Amino acid sequence: MSETKSTVVIEGGEESGEEGAEEVAARPPESKARKVAERTWWLPWLLGAAVLLVAVLVITGAFGGSKDQTPEQQMQNKKAALPSSAHTVVYEITGAGKSPEIRYVVDGAATSEKVEKVDLPWRKELHITVGPSVGIAQILAANSDADQISCSVTVDGQVVSQGVAPGQFSTVSCSAVVRPSAK
């Protein structure tokens, strides 16, 4: 048998050329995760610095926030800059006898009211505010046993919608879009 001479690297970088030298635990091969972590050690520091910078900017109000006004006051100021206007809306129903039911929009948006068994002719005047979006003026009326029923919608003195429904037990409706006027 022949003896071979081996070189073993021992911790600390020393080489041993002795025959039969015991192998000291060598470093295991590095994993990919460890290699990535060693190359990107600076990434958590960069992210932390960015978060800290954003926090400082938010606290100091560097993003254009007004220091003198509360968020509610800022919202009111923005709403005041948008167009809105007040209008007078007049609903009229004409015909003979009684109408079993009349429905109409009262606020220019979604709220409606209903009146029943109304003597005709009937008239209702409302004051609404619209803006920044458009408003709606709408009326619907039913006829009992009269020959016809008619409706009209007037906004600020101008008739904007008219309708006639002939015959007994008919229904008539009138509607209009009310736009906000510029200030």
Three-state secondary structure string covering 21-70: CCCCCCCCCCCHHHHHHHHCCCHHHHHHHHHHHHHHHHHHCCCCCCCCCC
Q: Predicted confidence band at 79 (pLDDT cuts at 50, 70, 90)?
A: confident
Q: What is the pLDDT of residue 160?
A: 95
- We find that the CATH architecture of domain 85-178 is Sandwich (2.60)
Measure CA 56 to chain center.
28
Q: What is the mean pLDDT of residues 95-122?
A: 91
Q: Structural domain boundaries of the chain?
A: 8-60, 85-178
How many of the other CB atoms lie within 10 Å of CB of 137? 25
Give the Cβ contact number of residue 104 at 10 Å: 24
- What whole-number percentage of the chain has pLDDT above 90? 40
Q: Tell me: the pLDDT tens digits for 135-152?
A: 999 999 998 888 899 999
Q: Determine the 3-state secondary structure of 117 from DSSP.
A: strand
Q: pTM to 2 decimals? A: 0.58
On the question of pLDDT at 91 being above 90, the answer is yes
